[in-house]
Amino acid sequence: MAAAGAEAAAVAAEEEKRLPEGDPESGGDSEDEGDSDSSGDGEDEEKENEAEIQRLEEQLSINAFDYNCHLDLIKLLRQEGELIKLRRARQKMSELFPLTEEIWLDWLKDEIKMASESSEREKVYELFERAVKDYICPEIWLEYAQYSIGGIGQEGGIEKVRSIFERALTAVGLHVTKGTALWEAYREFENAILETAQPAPGSVPSPEQQQMLCSQLEKIHTLFRRQLGIPLLDMEASYAEYEEWSEDPIPETTVKNYKKALQQLEKCKPYEEALLGAEPPKLAEYQAYIDFEMKAGDPARIQLIYERALAENCLVPDLWARYNQYLDRQLKVKELVLSAHDRAVRNCPWTVGLWIRYLLAMERHRVDHGIISGKDRPSQQDFFTQLLFVL
């Protein structure tokens, strides 16, 4: 009985955590009648929303794969501030479908507002880890890194931030139009660490402090040099910033890599401009860009442009098939290959060919039979059931 009471109290406390709403405007006695009418309209709207929420939940109990129904339910629950139900609805949708960048960002921002305890921060970290797996999302990676900075006071906090930034750069640091923001954020973080390491004015740094300062300076130098070797928009500004920041001349090797990256950027610009001027989903423009990168032959850049294309063309089975074929034949990295196949069938579960390639890939990489059958992955059972219907 005591445990049940404690659980009920916990649920009640969570229910009190409503998403922030605008503060009501104050009014005098002369507005009482208007306030009464407004209150009545608000109550009617609330009842209508509750009825619509119930209808949507019933519809999903009949057909869990109704994508638009999930979206409508999440939108209404967020509007009503129903945090518990909203979490549940988002969780159910995320088990069945990959979520778009917009849906993930809304979810993350809502949870960040609610997270005050360290244990709640860990749950937000876990949510970020899920969010970065569905599609390539530079904004989510940037949000993740910036959120992690808030935890630098915890044990290992600084190294955790650096680890997230490094993973973000691996994932999207080559993104021609959006990569710069991550590099700049990483440098700003390291510069902030440098400022805290500076000795007090007028004091002489100890050998240990001097060593720490030198180490921190080298970290920032390294970030500049790494960035300047990558073709990114506005890289001329980054070069000028490095010249101004560094007390020493820029090394000749860095200048050489920078000039090479500038030349590569000029080759990429026509494809980036074509994407910028095209209407979504820009499949033809992405295909031309993919062909260009395939001829250049850099695996990391090929993977990135495929991921960018799929983020806007996630329901195109042929694009998933070409991407997975490239990964199967060229990279052959188990985690990367299986993740791409898994996302392919989650986006296009009606396509038999994608399922066959996924099963063959799992067999090649000696995946446990329990996972292949779906028994060890409850969220995938419905997809295997769908495959039977497709067949």
DSSP states of 8-64 as a string?
Answer: HHHHHHHHH-PPP-PPPPP--GGGHHHHHHHHHHHHHHHHHHHHHHHHHHHHHHH-T
Residue 346 lies in a domain: yes
Top pLDDT among 361 and 204 is at 361
Residue 315 lies in a domain: yes
Question: d(Cα 148, Cα 156) in Å, to the nearest integer?
Answer: 11
Which residue in the block uniquely carries the two structure tokens 């423009």?
Answer: 285
- pLDDT per position as a tens digit, 294-320: 999 999 999 999 999 999 999 999 999
- Supply the pLDDT for residue 202: 82
C-alpha pair distances (Å), 218 with each of 55, 243, 249, 282? 60, 15, 14, 41
Percent of the chain predicted with pLDDT > 90 = 76
Which of 109-123, 168-182, 368-382 has the largest mean confidence? Answer: 168-182
Residue 359 lies in a domain: yes
Question: d(Cα 175, Cα 33) in Å, to the nearest integer?
Answer: 57
The answer to whether residue 291 scores a pLDDT higher than 80 is: yes
The answer to whether residue 22 scores a pLDDT higher than 70 is: no
Q: Where does the chain have alpha helices with state H? A: 2-16, 32-62, 67-80, 83-96, 101-114, 118-134, 138-149, 157-172, 179-197, 207-228, 235-245, 252-277, 283-296, 299-312, 317-326, 334-347, 352-364, 369-373, 381-390
Domain count, the chain: 2
| CATH number, residue 351 | 1.25.40
Is residue 190 classed as helix, strand or coil in its secondary structure? Answer: helix
The DSSP line for 291-340 is HHHHHHT-HHHHHHHHHHHHHH-TT-HHHHHHHHHHIIIII--HHHHHHH
User: pLDDT category, 117, cuts 50, 70, 90?
Assistant: confident
User: pLDDT category, 377, cuts 50, 70, 90?
Assistant: low
Instruction: Using the 3D structure, point to which of 97, 120, 135 is the last residue of a domain.
Output: 97
Residue 331 lies in a domain: yes
The answer to whether residue 3 scores a pLDDT higher than 80 is: no
Question: d(Cα 56, Cα 46) in Å, to the nearest integer?
Answer: 15
Question: d(Cα 269, Cα 178) in Å, to the nearest integer?
Answer: 14
Which of 41-50, 193-202, 224-233 has the largest mean confidence? Answer: 224-233
Q: 41-55, 137-151, 155-169 — which is least confidently predicted?
A: 41-55
Q: 313: domain range?
A: 306-391
The answer to whether residue 1 scores a pLDDT higher than 50 is: no
- Supply the pLDDT for residue 118: 80
Residue 83 lies in a domain: yes
Question: d(Cα 339, Cα 359) in Å, to the nearest integer?
Answer: 12
Residue 335 lies in a domain: yes
User: pLDDT category, 375, cuts 50, 70, 90?
Assistant: low
Q: 15-29, 181-195, 198-212 — which is least confidently predicted?
A: 15-29
The answer to whether residue 17 scores a pLDDT higher than 60 is: no
Both structure tokens of 77: 């629950």
- pLDDT per position as a tens digit, 26-44: 444 555 555 555 666 778 8
The pLDDT of 356-361, averaged and rounded, is 95
Residue 79 lies in a domain: yes
The pLDDT of 278-303, averaged and rounded, is 98
The pLDDT of 146-158, averaged and rounded, is 95
Both structure tokens of 212: 């720490």
Considering the chain, what is the average pLDDT of its residues?
Answer: 89
Residue 237 lies in a domain: no
C-alpha pair distances (Å), 308 with each of 116, 287, 336? 34, 11, 16
| pTM for this entry | 0.87
**CB of 301 closer than 8 Å to CB of 174:** yes
User: pLDDT category, 205, cuts 50, 70, 90?
Assistant: confident
**CB burial readout 120-132, b (16+ within 10 A) else e:** ebeebbebbeebb
Instruction: Using the 3D structure, point to which of 34, 65, 97 is the last residue of a domain.
Output: 97
Question: d(Cα 17, Cα 270) in Å, to the nearest integer?
Answer: 49
